[in-house]
Amino acid sequence: MIAIDTLLDWGATYKKVDLGETIFREGTEGRFYYQLLSGSVRWVNINEDGREFIQYIIEPGECFGELTMFENTVYAASAIANKESVLLRLHKASFIQLLKENPCIHFSFTKMMAQRLRDRFLFLNEVACHSPEHRIEALFNVLKKTSKGICPKCNMIKLTRQQVANMTGLRVETVIRTIRDLENRGILSIERGKVFCGTYD
């Protein structure tokens, strides 16, 4: 999102996190801008029963925790490492000053946030009050259009069944059954446990 050298020049530091490590928790004060260099991070809300709802999966080159940089609020969700990951973090005050002194970066950053918000609205509209089949098809369509969580060469879904459940608000048993039904209808295929989405859009 922002050049690594630029972040380092402004005082960003490297941080290594382990699988399952919480980077920040929902409801805590937002103090840093984060940018993922390697690995994978999920941005989630966790209910009282400990069940996760995945808002977004961060891939290398993407940022997270940025919303709190623009207002004095707490993090709206928790960030948890899906695997061993390396990230850069920049203190809030330095991040804001960086944007003020670099209008082109500021504009690109604002455009990225607007796109994320638009994609989220479209996805929530698709999954609200719809059947499990519709929810999962909608999710896979979003993955294809954004090239996130899916192999661009073979259309293999890189999410686990549990992650699909956590992103659609379904039970994992429902996801497993629905994926099988979608395979029977020829909408997707399953090979050696891997799910490959079809050509629908």
| Domain CATH number, residue 68 | 2.60.120.10
pLDDT band at 69 (very low <50, low <70, confident <90, very high): confident
The number of residues making up the chain comes to: 201
For the entire predicted model, the pTM comes to: 0.73
| 107 domain-assigned | no
Same domain for 96 and 14? yes
| 119 domain-assigned | no
Phi, psi values for residue 65, rounded to 5°: 75, 15
Same domain for 18 and 90? yes
Mean pLDDT over 109-117 rounds to: 84
Same domain for 142 and 94? no
Same domain for 86 and 150? no
Strand order in the sheet with 41-46: 22-24, 78-81, 41-46, 52-58
Which burial class, exposed, middle or buried, applies to 12 when counting CB atoms under 10 A from its CB (0-12, 13-18, 19+)?
Answer: buried
| Domain CATH number, residue 192 | 1.10.10.10
Name the amino acid, one letter, at 88.
Answer: L
Same domain for 9 and 95? yes
Mean pLDDT over 27-35 rounds to: 93
Alpha-carbon gap, residue 162 to 101, rounded angstroms: 43
Alpha-carbon gap, residue 175 to 133, rounded angstroms: 9
Q: Which range marks the domain in which residue 76 is found? A: 4-102
Alpha-carbon gap, residue 176 to 161, rounded angstroms: 7
| 10 domain-assigned | yes
Q: Which two tokens stand for residue 170?
A: 């379904």
Mean pLDDT for all residues in the chain: 87
